[in-house]
Amino acid sequence: MTPSNERADLVFEPSGRQVRVPVGVTLFDAASWNGIAIDSTCGGHGTCKKCKVRVLEGDAPVTSLDTRAFHTEDLREGWRLACRVEARGDLRVDVPPLTTRPKAATVGVGRKVILRPAVQKRFVELSEPTLKDQRADLERLLDAMDDLELRTDLFALRAIGPALRAADYKVTAVVVDDVLVAVEPGDTSERLFGIAYDLGTTTVVATILDLATGTPLAVQSMLNRQQQSGADVISRISTIMLDPTALGRLTTHAHETLDELTAAVCEEAGVEPREVYEIAVAGNATMTHIALGIDPEPLGVAPFVLTTRAFPELLASDLGVKVHPRARAVVFPAFGAYVGGDITAGLLAAGMDRDQRTRLFIDIGTNCEIVLSSDAGLLVTAAPAGPAFEGASIRCGMRAAKGAIEAVKMTPEDLALQVIGEAEPKGLCGSGLVDAVAELVSLGFIEASGRFVTEEAARDLAPELAYRLTTVGEERVFVLHWLREPGDVERSIYLSQRDVRELQFAKAAIATGWTLLLEDAGVAVEDVKQVLLAGSFGSYLSPASAVRLGLVPELPVLRVVSAGNVAGEGAKMALLSVRERAGAVALLEEVNYVELSDRPDFNDRFVDRLSFPV
């Protein structure tokens, strides 16, 4: 695009925010540059068709992509894709509200730990100095805690004198590991808190803990503000590779997300942010690198190299979290570019290295991490599942937010939907997609190959549901919910033939991953005693549907367990116990990473796993 000095004035409703941008800039980019959230999972590249806005005033010609995303009536009303509208003149645009609190797993499978946090507070009553006792303030304080060998932080040195004299030499020393980080007037020994974060690509979860008792006080979740740069880590890495300013922008978005959640959990728990002395962060390698301002580009290109597996001593402020100025940050180490700290935290919580049983740990998402524990030790790998489980590549897909169909049940006579928020259905999220395909496979409407059966065959199998099997254009679809009157297929929520193919590719990648791990360890499928489905998606995925489609090994359903937010549980454990924290670091030496991309048998195994079990 040729640079131009011309400018266009844009007004984004309902906030009324006014911005001025160079002529030719897209609405999506203009909004992103100015911190205005527009839904997208592709980062404005025109593939997800989710950045829907309504142009209220100004000229916005219809593009070919708009005609595929909207009906004629919607186009007449001004609906456009923001990534395709170029600001050639002044515009006033209505932006639909973005779901910032998606449905997310906030708790998960964990273990009891012996409470021994790195943070401790010691209340001391000191004698006042005299001409005969002219010990320095620090010396006087350390002498009262001679059972501890402490280093001193400059922040504490600045605070010690005023604190001692303001409180008649009755103060509380704040110690993190072996460092005196603060001195507070009076007795504040019962007020010490930490915050655990699950820094996800889509959703971020924060839990504030009372470190004196180990009790969780509040938990909040929100959409990662980086989502405008794409739904998956590859999209975000690509954005940074193409735009020299993008890393700084995405780092800022990560900090804003963490800090907003910090304020929310502190307010709910009745805790002042300055009373939070330590945080723990569990995130995948890309999210962690970006949050720390480290270029993630090497993670996205072969040979997929991390800047570091483990991080040096960090402060919460390095992650933009506004708590106590000297609060420490514990960031979980990673096994590899695509098996990050969130998996390390999850393995810690699940006790994968402590159980004698043969177990599979599967964190399902755009990138699926798989861990096998057996007599052969711990094997881990990552499988490229793609964005189907996030709803990004699904025709009527959406995130797991209010209005998303999250569960589907079918009989030959009826169909029942479970919708998040008990609202009118708006789309289909990942768990609903898996359920819908599993139910249609069970009914016989979808063959083992993944193809829909003929309408005649459908009438023989389930005549009450057969009318839902129809076409949109030349593509076969199955209608889950009529948004208008029955028969208006294009304005319905449906499962398309392409959607089924997307799910097949995703499940084949995952199944190939655990199959190869089992073979490398010399373990038979029937020897697996438990399958843990981890992460937010795993929390809401039906184990029966996962088994039915071959997403997990064909085992009794009771062996398949939804583990929930185990990454968040691991982060909590790191705050509550220095022993468990050391255990997370030790995992780096106990786990063997298996790279699938250079396996000569991967493609053949992948093709073998495409079919649904019959």
DSSP for 497-530 reads: HHHHHHHHHHHHHHHHHHHHHHHHHT--GGG--E
Do 477 and 528 reside in the same domain of the chain?
A: no
Q: Is the pLDDT of residue 604 over 70?
A: yes
Per-residue model confidence (pLDDT) at position 345: 95
Residue 2 confidence (pLDDT) above 50: no
Q: Residue 251 pLDDT > 90, yes or no?
A: yes
Residue 345 forms part of a structural domain: no
Instruction: Answer yes or no: is 348 within a domain.
Output: no
User: Is 572 in contact with 209 (CB distance < 8 Å)?
Assistant: yes
Residues 307 and 246 in one domain: yes
Please tell me the total count of domains within the chain: 5
Share of the chain above pLDDT 70, in %: 97
Do the domain assignments include residue 155?
yes
C-alpha of 85 from chain center: 30
Domain boundary among 440, 470, 501: 501
pLDDT band at 98 (very low <50, low <70, confident <90, very high): low
For residue 513, what is the domain's CATH number?
3.30.420
516 within a domain of the structure (yes/no) = yes
Q: Judge whether 1 lies within some domain.
A: no
Helices (H), 444-565: 455-461, 497-521, 535-540, 543-549
Q: Answer whether residue 518 shows pLDDT above 70.
A: yes
- pLDDT at residue 30 in the model: 85
- Expressed as residue numbers, the domain containing 309 is 193-331
Structural tokens at position 38? 């527009």
Same domain, 178 and 204: no
Structure tokens at 297: 């580009």
204 lies in the same domain as 300: yes
Q: Return phi, psi of residue 597, to 5°.
A: -65, -25
The DSSP secondary-structure symbol of 489 reads G
Mean pLDDT across 471-477: 92
Q: Does residue 415 belong to any structural domain of this protein?
A: yes
Determine, yes or no, domain membership for 234.
yes
Whether residue 324 sits in one domain with residue 202: yes
- 201 with 57, same domain: the answer is no
Question: 511 and 371 in one domain?
Answer: yes
Q: What is the per-residue pLDDT for 261?
A: 97
Question: Domain containing 308 — which CATH number?
Answer: 3.30.420.480
3 has pLDDT over 50 = no
For residue 23, the domain's CATH number is 3.10.20.30
Domain boundary, last residue among 185, 211, 229: 185
Q: What would the mean pLDDT of 501-512 be, rounded to a whole number?
A: 95
Average the pLDDT over each of 43-52, 80-89, 215-224, 503-512 and give the range with the smallest value.
43-52
Residues 172 and 137 in one domain: yes
Residue 152 belongs to domain with CATH number? 3.10.20.880
What is the mean pLDDT of the segment spanning 437-461? 96
Mutual angle of helices 341-350 and 566-576, in 10-degree steps: 80
Domain co-membership, 370 together with 450: no
**Distance (Å, whole) CA 350 – CA 109:** 6
Binning pLDDT at 50, 70 and 90, where does residue 201 land? confident
Same domain (yes/no): 458, 369: no
Q: Give the tokens for residue 111.
A: 């273990």
Residues 133 and 74 in one domain: no
Top-confidence residue, 546 or 29: 546
The two beta strands, 427-428 and 404-410, are parallel
Categorize the per-residue pLDDT at 51 as very low, low, confident or very high, splitting at 50, 70 and 90: confident
- Could you tell me the two tokens for 305? 């190299």
For position 102, what pLDDT does the model report? 53
Q: Residues 328, 313: contact at Cβ < 8 Å?
A: yes
SS3 label, residue 401 = coil
Question: Among residues 102, 176, 200, 224, which one has the least CA distance to residue 568?
Answer: 200
In a domain, 114, yes or no: no
Q: What's the confidence (pLDDT) of residue 109?
A: 62
Indicate if the pLDDT at residue 433 is higher than 50: yes
- Determine the 3-state secondary structure of 98 from DSSP: coil
Residue range 332-351: mean pLDDT, rounded = 93
| Residue 383 and residue 507 in one domain | yes
Domain boundary among 452, 484, 501: 501
pLDDT one-digit tens code per residue, 367-396: 899 999 998 899 999 988 877 887 778 889
pLDDT at 311 over 80: yes
pTM reported for the whole predicted model = 0.84
Tallying the residues shown for the chain, one arrives at 614
